[in-house]
A and B are shown apart, each in its own frame.
Chain A
Amino acid sequence: MLKTRIIPTVLFKNGIVVKTKKFSEHRNIGSCINTVRVYNAREVDELIFIDTDATKEMRGLPIAIVREVLDECFMPLTVGGGVKTTEDINALLKIGADKVSINSEAVKRPDFISEAAKVFGSQSIVISIDAKRNGGSYEVFTESATKPSGMDPVFWAKKCEKLGAGEILINSIDHDGMMDGFDIELIKQVSDAVNIPVIACGGAGNLDDFTKAIKEGHASAVSASSIFLFTQTTPENVKMHMAKSGINVRI
């Protein structure tokens, strides 16, 4: 039986791990390499590695830095930040990424998703969606949550699936870095709408939050950052807790 994945996310800028709250207030945490080494030693299920401001700062991913970090990794890896062309994707797959995450460029140019899926296969293409609550509904934002798209995340996720995305990473802007629990409603709406795996992200603050994202939010996998950086909780603790509530995990 397929195991539910617990995926640490490492956000970085200039080779330094950063942590945000609601996509702003960057805090420097430490070197990428050291952080990744710890996760590697812990044999985590997967790792997501994202350059937070590549698009906003109108630059590509710093390939040399990313390559150095990926060389430390033996776990499956998703890499993202400022990915705009099939050449960008090729460069990342070549240095050891298994999947590439695309966000702003996909919203700007949806055909990029089908173009990428055709060349690299759907399983390599993760579409990252940042959504914010807006009254009773949600809206997709791009460029580090600075630019509203006018789109509903469910509509956008379904479109991404149709265009050939292999996976959706749904992130709540309101809960980013707040450690106050996932936006279960958002996760559930998106997970129930598509037939591709959905990774829930944004807000994990305690062990029960992870279980809820799976049981109530119907996510296929859960990602988190702050809880692993700022508390004693490890991905393994999370999995032990999930196992107790009957969720199949790899321990």
Chain B
Amino acid sequence: MINAIEINNLCKKYDSFALENISFSLPKGYIMGLIGPNGAGKTTTIKLMLNMLKKTAGDIKILGLDSVADQNKIKEIIGAVFDANYFVQDWTVKEVDKTIGIFYSNWDSEKFKTMIQRFGLDLNKKVKELSRGMQMKLMVACAFSHDAKLLILDEPTSGLDPVARDELTDLLSEFIEDGEKSVLFSTHITSDLDKIADYITFISNGNLFYTGTKDEFVDGFKIVKGGNKDITAEQEKKIIGIRKYSTGFEGLIKSSDIRNFGKLECEAASIDEIIVFTSKGGKDNE
């Protein structure tokens, strides 16, 4: 079966930053969370997928199509939601339909209007008069209206209230329900992903840290806690990231190392904790 996304050894070199050897794939019909601290390379990866940046090496395939050679075909089947909308602020919602619609061979104006109505948007309102949540929905409506097969979201929930965030995750589940469409969701608000993501790709400082199912990701790490005297130097070496405070410490370990921490209290780690501790560990090593 063709993967929705297939990225192999993707590199992008800048003077001060480099995205190095990123490889991951997303099977059709699933949601992948692209996570990592700010500046990790999430947006760079997305822009490379859209051929907005030129890759230094590697290759990107979207539903079997090459990101450079078949870029127009790919863009016909990609919908995107960014942290801010990409329309002219003075356009009305109706003008978005008219102006953007002509570019897509699959554009369904009726569907657009149905979505707009469902979202409670006003066709005659200008883009700049819409709230952040409404603008997000307008971008989603566009993606749905040209029958996008892959929805790429780059920090879509920053600045959204919990209600709008919840509506978005609902829309994503609806989007992939037929099993043919897929979602790549870059965010640093991992609570959006805790439940709905099937796969996780974690990039840190331009390097791939993990890619695979979310369950394995979350199960792969544990938080270990204890008093400052409870931990040996040997054990500390096994800790990926640690936070020490006056009365104790907590750290992130690999679940496979759990037997080395015998008596210490271990508990499940959240995606957030994994990100926080791995980036802390990274700093300590510098």
Do A and B pair up? The answer is no
Using a CB–CB distance below 8 Å, which chain B residues touch chain A? Answer: none
